[in-house]
Chains A and B, each alone.
Chain A
Amino acid sequence: MARLLQVFGFLSVLFRGATLAFQSLAVGGVVFLNAVLRRTGEESNALRDACLRWIGRAAAALAAMQLAYVLANSLILMQSADMPLREVGGANFVVAGAIGIVSALLMVVLARAGKSVSPAIFLLPAAAIVASTVMTSHAMARLEYRAPLVTFTALHQAATAAWLGGLPYLLIVIRRVANPDLARQLSARFSQLALVSVAVLACAGLVLSYAYVGSVSAVYGTSYGAMVATKVLLFGLLLFLGALNFQLVRRGPSSSILASLKRFGEAEIGIGITVILTAASLTSLPPAADLTQDRVTRAEIAARMAPRAPRLASPTMKELPEDIYAAMGKAFEVGPLSTESFVPGQAGTRPNTPAEKAWSEYNHHWAGIVVVAIGLLAILAQAANLSWARNWPLIFLGLALFLFLRSDPEVWPLGPNGFWVTFADPEVLLHRVFVLLVIGLAVFEWRVQTGRASSPRVPLVFPMLVAVAGALLLTHSHALGNIKEEVLAELSHIPLAILAVAAGWSRWLELRLPPENRARGAMARLWPVCILLIGVVLLNYREM
């Protein structure tokens, strides 16, 4: 039963995340259709058809994910509380899910009907979809100021969808449009929509942050506060790219406008996805304002972050707990029980032993040494044009082997738990996926750096994987309680994630921007420095 709950708990998380993603795409497409793609003349029919196709697909995916989420969550409730199906049927999340599914299916039908339906009609299911998500948000469960918080959450989500969810549709239409003037007109119109959306998003975000974070000490003292700060930082990065776009549309040289616009748009979408992921991650945490005890202090952060010599000696396997899974289960059954909350299928949290912490620090520090070497060689290859230094991506293969052996000592090949446990434990699975990502980085980028890659798409693999790794770090699992160690771990992961996002998208822009765009050179110099800094941060990673 515990394993079943764990699997369904993980599936429920997966479906929830996918639901949020497809909601942004579907609703963003509808807003784009109404606010940007109106009265564009002859050419507009083909553009509208393209948008409708993707709105329909996003809505169909949304309905499927929403259904899967409701089913998985219902099953968890039925199994964990021994509750009959008819009783589960009246729960708030089932009602909200049903509204979302019906609205999404209605949107699919409308999108199939195509030109015979006025774009304004699509706004009704779009509003219902946003409402269904708001029904299962933090705001809905608050004890005080529920109505205003629900309103601000709805505004926040709708504005996010209009801006970030609408951006892919802008790229689709400007790739398809033959008339440059029309492309410029559509871009200008989207810029206006984006400006309004950003203003609404920021104002609603400020109100929600005040309600859910409440104080400066909660910003750095809780996981929730730290994630809000990260979201604000990424939002600032998006605004910077948006401002560059805005300038291009208004004053840029016509020859490079569209090419640059598309490239900045791609980076904006990527960083936008990261922001949505950070937001999704936030919803898994209790608001900082509710956790007034055991916050991390500035002195504790300074003590943890103070530079120290790297740990280059590892504890032996014998010093680690014999079977970590059994130890966790035992800790929950007979250990220091608390009022701490956990989700069904999740074991009670057990503090890591000093040997486990030393094991982890050793892993991070050796990884740091490898990444510093990669960063330095990449800078050297670029600055001094040394051909041998261009083989730097191969160092990633050593890193992949190191991570595979040491990231989860309780699991095969070092530990007593077999290979298939990898697929049952989300954290181990995540680590194994990271190993595959690192191997991908090594192979693809080595071919690019040494001139072996013939396809123009292959160079994009490296920036994409680095950016995805950064986004994944921001969505790493969080403890529900305000456990200090979790917050301190979060604070050390956040700079790594932001640097990875910056490295990935600056390399992307270096590759994709037209040569005449002056930002290209700056981007080329930025990403190796970001990689070097990732290594430096890893070298100072601490768990005690």
Chain B
Amino acid sequence: MRNARLLARALAEPGSVTGLSPGEWTELIAVARAESLAGSLAHRLQAIELPPKVAALLADARRDSEQARTQALWEAEMARRALAPTGVPVILLKGTAYAAAGLEAAIGRSIGDLDILVPRGTLDEVQQALLAAGWEWVKPDPYDDLYYRRWMHELPPLIHRERDRMIDVHHTILPLTARPKPLPLDLIDKSRPLHGGLRVLSPEHMILHAAAHLIADGDLAGGLRNLWDIDRMCREFSRDQADFCPGAVEEAHAHGLGRQVMTALRLAAQIFGTPLTAYDGPAPIDFSPRRSDRYFRARLLARDGWGRETRKGLRFAFYVRSHWLRMPPLMLARHLWLKARR
């Protein structure tokens, strides 16, 4: 097995797994674990007749993701209780948001840290409330701290001293040094309330955030799972609203991330078969593949049947790109110099 195509196909078309050899099953499971998609795969294959050992392994993965969900929602509730007295609107992001909103993207998904978005002007208040409720700074280094506060889209990470769980407090969705400048107040304005007092982004903004994270920030590590989120959300939201995807692209243009959302949707369609229809309005949207898509596809699928990372050169190129996207060259040079001298 040369790349993670087998996993992508199993997720998109569960029927494709019938007839896999034992060796291919072992490879599929190793790749799914490496890409943090074992729980998602387990749910997708639930209705398929499987070899008993595979069925048992996937049942373990489902149990595991169920536990991850319980813990993530509990952690969100802990943050809600800590922040309720401040009156600040707390918007859940990523996996915890999908789970709290009951989205299909959350089914079987692994969930790591708790990510929340709050208005930038309330950061001091939020930080004080979290520190008082038992969260502590993870990185005591003054340069890192300064770097986060001046240039990043989030506070330095905090960890809870008893529950050992991290929280990332965002005030926007991309580093302040990145070229696109999304509008955090608009994200907050259009967010939706959940039962109990927490909030989540609007469906269009969930896609915006997932795509910004995947295409405009970072080196695509764990990208296959982010792309799977995008596929699941596009399908779910399009069921109620046929022109959801073009609408999400239009909304993304308002945040300066139209190109990134387009790329993410094209890749989702190419890898997972996400249904996209071209839009012939006053501002036409064309989802046909671009030449550069193949580099993204190759990077997203760069893993072999042993779960090893492949395409070292391409991975490095995307790593360099992530720094290039994240900050202007002179600032990058200064940042790397300071980090290297420590």
> Is the pairing of A and B real?
no
